[in-house]
Amino acid sequence: MEMQNQVMGYDRTATMFSPDGHLLQVEYAEKTVRLGSASIGFSCKDGVVIIADRRMRDKLLVEKSANKVYEIDEHIMASAAGILSDARVLVERAQLVAQQHRVTYDSPIDVESVIKEISNLKQISTQYGGVRPFGVSVMVAGISQNKPKLFVSDVTGNYFGYIASAIGENDEKIKELLREKYQEKTNTDEAIKLGLKIFKKILGKNFELGRFDVGIITIAEKKLKRPGEEELKKYMK
């Protein structure tokens, strides 16, 4: 009981290390992310793809209001897992930075600059008192200098580049399948097929195309496209 009380004293603030070197509030935030619905991202030879599970399917819901793939700029998109209201704050900051870059430099912002901005905001929330960590992982994909880029930022403010990755529920299972089946020279169509196949395996009887929000940005067009449920059916053949 005494040890439990000691631990409780250390986990009530994000800025205090526990005696064994952990920031417990940050670790709790990581658990929150794993409760969120999953997204899979791909960096392909001809562009980038994000397949996000909306999880909810309600006939009363306006479908576009529940999108999980967010447009940062026409050549950059993002998805998130965890507390989506936290994600909205980060996405809106990224959108602002992207637009300011266009106005100031008359050119599109680099994808890594966007993920760095998001990651810096997350890191600040682990270092100063009076705030809690952002309970969200963010995946950002886009085209920079005619090259596809995919980054993932965790709750601590770290970020890494990937050729394919997953965030949210069952992320480790999905990553294992990606390591086994994904090839770097895959194109966007093949990536969507693989992503939906993985979700079908993970979700089982709960799988249905209407629950997915899919974003595609190709090197050729550099503009976000969102195929609908009918368009996604061709990838299941």
- Write down the domain spans for the chain: 23-228
pLDDT (tens digit per residue) in 214-226: 999 999 999 999 9
Whole-number Cα distances in Å, 155 to 13, 14, 89, 179: 15, 12, 14, 23
Q: What is the pLDDT of residue 178?
A: 97
Q: What is the pLDDT of residue 135?
A: 96
Q: Cα(68)–Cα(225) distance, rounded to whole angstroms?
A: 14
Q: What 3-state class would DSSP assign to 136?
A: strand
Tokens of 233: 């059916």
Q: Indicate the average pLDDT of the chain.
A: 92
Q: How far is CA 67 from the centre of its chain?
A: 13
pLDDT score of 228 more than 60: yes
Instruction: Count Cβ atoms below 10 Å from residue 222 Cβ, excluding itself.
Output: 17
Percent of residues, the chain, with pLDDT higher than 90 = 78
Q: What is the pLDDT of residue 3?
A: 47
Q: What 3-state class would DSSP assign to 169?
A: coil
Q: What is the pLDDT of residue 6?
A: 52
pLDDT (tens digit per residue) in 132-161: 999 999 999 999 999 999 999 999 999 999
Q: What is the pLDDT of residue 11?
A: 82
Q: What 3-state class would DSSP assign to 176?
A: helix
pLDDT (tens digit per residue) in 57-102: 677 888 778 889 999 999 999 999 999 999 999 999 999 999 999 9
Q: Cα(33)–Cα(184) distance, rounded to whole angstroms?
A: 27
Q: Cα(170)–Cα(32) distance, rounded to whole angstroms?
A: 13
pLDDT score of 166 more than 90: yes
- Give the confidence band of 130 by pLDDT, cuts at 50, 70, 90: confident
Q: What are phi and psi of 165, to 5 degrees?
A: -160, 175
- Give the confidence band of 232 by pLDDT, cuts at 50, 70, 90: very high
- Class (C level, CATH) for 23-228: alpha beta
Of 37, 36, 10, nearest to 24 (Cα)?
10
- Give the confidence band of 7 by pLDDT, cuts at 50, 70, 90: low
Pairing mode of beta strands 136-144, 39-43: unpaired
Is the pTM above the cut of 0.75? Answer: yes
Q: By CB neighbour count within 10 A (0-12 exposed, 13-18 middle, 19+ buried), where does 122 fall? A: buried
Q: Give the HSE-up count for residue 2: Cα atoms under 13 Å, Cβ half-sphere.
A: 0
Tokens of 39: 């997204």
Instruction: Count Cβ atoms below 10 Å from residue 31 Cβ, excluding itself.
Output: 11
